[in-house]
Amino acid sequence: MRRLAAVALSLPEAYEEDAWTGVRWRVRTRTFAHVMVGQEGYESSFRDLTGITEPTTVLTFHSCGDELLALTNAPLPFYKPPWSGTIVGLVLDPDTDWAEVAELVTESYRCCAPQKLVRALDQR
């Protein structure tokens, strides 16, 4: 989770806060990344979609355009939660490609942040 936090908090005006379960990273009032461990007592779209019941760490993030289409049709570790048209889920495990996670979180930020902040990110 430290790797994820380092990426998310490096983005302009991003901040971290506890969510109803897990931790989320936001820009202004929009969540661009949320990590949680699916656990008993919390409804889990991951569990409903995959049938996997053991605790699983998942990251949800926004995506758009061709990337959204590709990710929603990709096999595990990706999955498509039904509660938002632009949200994609990713299982985080020992095989996670952290460079890819950094790109996905940054692109999610771009989908959520005001254009002024996206321009600031692009000027880095």
Please return the burial class of 33, using the count of CB atoms within 10 Å of its CB with bins 0-12, 13-18 and 19+.
buried
Q: Which residues constitute the domain of residue 116?
A: 2-122
- Give per-10-residue mean pLDDT for the chain (124 aa): 93 95 95 83 70 86 95 93 92 95 97 96 89
Please tell me the total count of domains within the chain. 1
Q: The pTM is what?
A: 0.91
The CATH number of the domain holding residue 81 is 3.90.1150.30
b/e code 62-78 from CB counts within 10 Å (16+ = b): bbeeeebeebbeeeebb
Q: How far apart are CA 123 and CA 31, in angstroms?
A: 23
DSSP one-letter string for 30-44 = EEEEEEEE--TTS--
Structure tokens at 45: 């779209």
pLDDT tens for 99-113 read: 999 999 999 999 999
Contact 113, 101 (CB under 8 A): no
